[in-house]
Amino acid sequence: MILASAMEMIHNALPAAVLALGLATLFAVVLLIASIKLRVETDPKVEEVYNVLPHIDCGACGFAGCASYAKAVVANPELIGRCSPGGAETSVAIGRALNLQISGGGAPSRPIVHCRAHREDKLFHAAYDGIESCTSANAQPDVQACHFGCLGFGDCTRACKFDALHIVDGLSTVDYDKCTGCGACAKACPRNLIQMVPFTQDNMMTVACSSRESGKTTRTFCKVGCIGCGICAKQSDLFTVADNLAKMNYESYAPSEATQTAMDKCPTGVIVSRGQTAPADRQPGQKAAAATA
Amino acid sequence: MDTLHTLLLAFIGIVVVNNLVLTKFLGICPYLGVSGRIDMAFGMGCAVTFVVTLAGTLTWIIDHTFLIGTPLEVMRYLCFILVIAGAVQLVEMYLRKFFPSLYESFGIFLPLITTNCAILGLCLFLNLWEIKRLDEAVVLSAGAGIGFTLAICIMAGIRENMELADVPGPMRGAPITLITAGLLTLAFMGFAGMI
């Protein structure tokens, strides 16, 4: 009884099975022919290089994404080392994929924001009520008294794909644990406050100000701006003062007693440390020694 | 002459009056997903047009040769999906070979044409509307693809211009896109009853 009904079911289902099988076979054959005719030859090296890249498509290398960078680097090995998120490890890995000897490469570059003025440190003439972006705020001459400092509307935060930049109390602040050094923030800042610096050490000393106003003027609108007094330049050759603004020479960067003294003696405390384990910024007027004591 | 007249009416009907996207609300996912830029929208429209023409014609033939009038009609969805999936695979290989940049910019949306409801919808409409002739089925299939291309390109054009508009904060992104889609649909309602 059961057998008979089962047989009947199979008998009824047979045409459907034949139809489905026939169609499937037809398409299998068509697609097989198409796949042979339309085969795309891919260089196995490109795939190998692509696999060692970080796959974040940040564009720091100057190409549209990791896939196009992989293609370019196979064609032209001189382009090795453009991948800043991957750093030296990735360069070595690409070299291995292409059978080239690559040594580690330079120090990873990381952004430094050349401003340290939080909202309470600087002077505002009026409230800005326009579009909340640095680019449009920068078009207003008097959005804040300082024409050089951080605007704090977060164009850099939005440019960052790694959640490594945040506006903390009106100042762009880098989270060096998350930063990969792609440089997107440096391109996004309309005031060019962000400089990509080779981090030869965990923490780098820097002059966190960009104001080229005279010391007297800077003092009127910012408690923590560089006044170009030159005390740091007297302590260490690494500092140079031009246009009322001290600058750190990163090419021969070597911190010493002298640079530490310069940092401690800076009257506005604008020489600060930036990096993963950097100490908190000194408050203006407060001596470093006194702060630790 | 009479044939031409019928075909022309069928074509205009499927492109503007019964536009699958704007009046039947089919194929909304690529319509909203790939309508960010006109060139990509046009590429997507061309791919869908190719697939829907191929799939509509093939399914009509299969439907009329094997399925209609037999108990096998229950197999309709299965067969149609098989045809569509095969056609999409073909398009994917073709694009990868001849238009690699378009292939890369489509990304996941290209295999997703398989699940584009506008295509299966059109194949089933051909059965529902009881299209009796092959040439009419071909014209309707191609017209459905062209209608889709028209809708997605209009949408992409509006969205490109909307990038410059000062949209209120909470409305930015998806909400204003959906409102635009609704207004566009309302505009196309004006064609209703034309044929």
Full pLDDT tens readout for chain A, 293 residues: 788 888 888 888 888 888 889 988 998 999 999 888 888 777 888 888 888 888 888 888 888 888 888 888 888 888 888 888 887 788 888 888 888 877 766 678 899 999 999 988 989 888 888 888 999 999 887 889 999 999 999 999 999 988 999 999 999 999 999 888 888 899 999 999 999 988 888 889 999 999 999 999 999 999 899 999 999 999 888 899 989 999 998 888 888 888 889 988 898 889 999 988 888 887 765 554 443 43
Where among A97, A129, A159 does a domain terminate?
Answer: A97
Residue A27 lies in a domain: no
Check whether residue A167 and residue A207 sit in a common domain. Answer: yes
Distance CA A264, CA A272 (A): 9
Domain assignment present for A58: yes
H or E stretch at A174? strand A171-174
Q: Assign residue A57 the CATH number of its domain.
A: 1.10.15
Query: DSSP states of B83-126 as a string?
Result: HHHHHHHHHHHHHHHH-HHHHHHHGGGTGGGGG-HHHHHHHHHH
- Are both A173 and A202 inside the same structural domain? yes
Q: Report whether A272 contacts A205 (CB < 8 A).
A: yes
C-alpha distances (whole Å) from B83 to each of B117, B130, B158, B171 are 14, 20, 34, 40
Mean pLDDT of chain B: 89
Q: For residue A146, is it within any domain?
A: yes
Which chain B residues contact residue A38 at CB under 8 A?
93-94, 96-97
Q: How many CB atoms lie within 10 A of CB A245?
A: 22
Looking at the structure, do residues A90 and A113 belong to the same domain, yes or no? no
Q: Give the alpha-carbon dihedral of B73, B74, B80, B82, to 10 degrees.
A: -130
Residue A215 inside a domain? The answer is yes
Do A169 and A212 share a domain, yes or no? yes
User: CB distance from A67 to chain B under 8 Å?
Assistant: yes
- The closest of B61, B66, B86, B56 to A16, measured between CA atoms, is B66
* Cα of B140 vs its chain's centroid, Å: 11
Structural domain of residue A250, as residue ranges? 109-280
Same structural domain, A52 and A172: no
- Answer yes or no: is pLDDT of B97 > 70: yes
Same domain as A125, residue A91: no
pLDDT of residue A289: 45
Q: Is A42 on the interface with B (CB under 8 A)?
A: no
| Any B CB within 8 A of A32 CB | no
Element holding A16 (H helix, E strand): helix A2-37
Beta carbons of A19 and B79 less than 8 Å apart: yes
Q: Residues A149, A211: one domain?
A: yes
Domain at A216, CATH number:
3.30.70.20
Measured between beta carbons, the chain A residues lying within 8 angstroms of B93 are: 31, 34-35, 38
Whether residues A113 and A246 fall in one domain: yes
Same domain, A69 and A139: no
Least confident of A54-63, A68-77, B58-67, B168-177: A54-63
pLDDT in tens, B134-153: 999 999 999 999 999 999 99
How far is residue B130 CA from its own chain's centroid? 20
State residue A192's pLDDT score. Answer: 92
Instruction: Report if residue A291 sits inside a domain.
Output: no
As a residue count, chain A comes to: 293
CA-closest candidate to residue B57, choices B175, B141, B177: B141
Instruction: Choose from B62, B64, B75 for mutation: most chain A CBs within 10 A.
Output: B75
Is there a contact between A71 and A46 (Cβ–Cβ < 8 Å)?
yes
**Best of B90, B106, B123 to disrupt the A interface by mutation (most A CBs within 10 Å)?**
B90
Together in a domain, A57 and A183 = no
Chosen domain end from A62, A97, A132: A97
Complex ipTM: 0.70
Whole-angstrom distance, CA of residue A107 vs CA of residue B89: 47
DSSP string, A189-235: -TT--EEEEE-SSSEEEEE-----S-HHHHHHHBSS------HHHHH
Query: Considering its fold, how many domains does chain A have in total?
Result: 2
Confidence band (pLDDT; 50, 70, 90) for B12? Answer: very high
**Contact status, residue B93 vs residue A38, Cβ threshold 8 Å:** yes
For residues A86 and A178, membership in a common domain is answered with: no
C-alpha to C-alpha distance for A53 and A180, rounded to whole angstroms = 13
**Structural domain includes residue A48:** yes
Verify that A70 and A122 share a domain, yes or no. no
Domain ranges of chain B: 22-189
The neighbour count for residue B175, using CB atoms within 10 Å, is: 12
Q: Do B90 and A31 touch (CB under 8 A)?
A: yes
